[in-house]
Structures are given as structure tokens and as C-alpha cells.
Amino acid sequence: MSEPVRLSKRMSELGLCSRREADEWIERGWVRVDGAVVSVLGSKVLPHQKVTVERQASAEQARRVTILVNKPVGYVSGQAEDGYQPAVALVKASTRWTGDRSPNRFQPSQLRSLVPAGRLDIDSVGLLVLTQDGRIAKQLIGEDSTVDKEYLVRVQHLRPGRLPDNSLKLLNHGLSLDGKRLLPAKVRWQNDDQLCFVLREGKKRQIRRMCELVGLKVLGLKRVRIGGVKLGDLPPGQWRYLREDEKF
């Protein structure tokens, strides 16, 4: 027999919303199981039961925005720390990119519950996703995410001569961090001092630590793509909305 699971978890598995959103909707009475409203947090359902949401939930979800920021050095991805400002502080009417083609109008309410879907170190730059949509957050940083991220990484070889071919192979597959084998990556030379990394995971300071293991020092790191969405011409310190025709 199939075991019952928490309703919020089941809603997340079905791609309806994030668990946090599910709890909000359950409390508001916007969730039905086999046609009956369920408004008690922690309620459980069986996998074969039909879960639906009211139109109010779908309408609220449609109003939630996803914002792309070209994060400069010196900003943290999440909450403010050690005196450094969070990247969300860059999101205001005056810093919206003039090339943004989205019909959305900026409103301060869009800053509520706007969270990073994937991090960039304080000394790294490039594409950072801030979203109010739990489905996108799950797609980008969930345990089963298959969305790849592309980085341009300027490096200095700390040993005599060029980086050996065998070390480049190790960067592609064969390294471990924190006692756990890393997933295969795609790493190639972009030019004489810059590597291109494509990863499907995002351990803390992963690229910098990978480079250290093969005798490379990272001088600069820039994320240029997340799945099907590119940084493009978005200037540093500015932002734009994710367009409806763009998919990660």
C-alpha cells in the first residue's frame, strides 16, 4: 500500500507550488482533496487522491514575479550579512534596465517574498535569479533540479607551465568535495586564461574549490546562463523581469 504524505509535499511534487506556498494556500482554504476543502496544516493525502487549488491561488501565483539581476561584486545573494547589502537592494525603479521588454510595471509589493533561487558568492558577478514563485525556486535549486548553470572563470595557474590535460579532465569529472564525489561537469578553455564551466549542482564556493584542487587560483567568476536564460546585455547592477517567453 502507498503511504500517505503531507499535503504540502504532494502539492510540491505535483508542481503546483512550493511547500511554503502550499501551507499558505491550505490555511486560506484554497486547496481541495477529492473535491473537499482541506484547511488544516499537516494534513496527509494518498498518492491517488486528486489535489486541486482554487482560482484565487492561481491568480495570486500569476502575479508573482521573477527578476534577473546582474549582480556586481560586494553584494550578497540572500539576507544582509557582515555589513554587506543583499542583491534585492538593487531592485528598484531607478535601476531597471531600459532594455527590459517586459510589460510588467515595478511595484514595491513585488519585493515581498523575493528570494534568490541559487546563490552567487559576494566576490562573484553575473546572473542572479530572484523570484516570488516557488515553482521556479524548486526548478532551479530543488534536489532533483536538472537545470545547468554556465560560468566564465578567469584563472591563474599556480604551478609552472600550463594546466595539464589530466587536470582539465579532473575538473570535468573525478573531483570530490566534503567527502562526496561531484557530478560530471563540462569544463573547457574559453581563452588562454579563462575557463568555461557548466554545472548542474551548486555546492558552496564549488568552482573556486574545484580550481584549488588542481592548482588554479580564481581571479574572477561570472555566471552567464541558467538553463535557457542568458545574462545577455543586462548591465552590472541593473535588473529586468523574466519574460513569459523565457524558460529555464
Catalytic residues: 121
If you compute the radius of gyration of the chain from its CA atoms, what whole number of angstroms results? 21
Distance CA 59, CA 80 (A): 31
First to last CA, the chain: 36
Distance CA 248, CA 235 (A): 20
Cβ neighbours for 220, distance < 8 A, ≥ 6 positions apart: 125, 153, 154
Tracing cell 588554479 back to the chain, one arrives at 216
Instruction: For residue 45, give the C-alpha cell.
Output: 493525502
Strand pairing class (180-181; 186-191): unpaired
Distance CA 199, CA 220 (A): 17
One-character DSSP codes across 36-49: EE--STT-EE-TTS
One-character DSSP codes across 167-234: HHHHHHTT-EETTEEPPP-EEEEEETTEEEEEES---TTHHHHHHHHTTEEEEEEEEEEETTEE-TTP
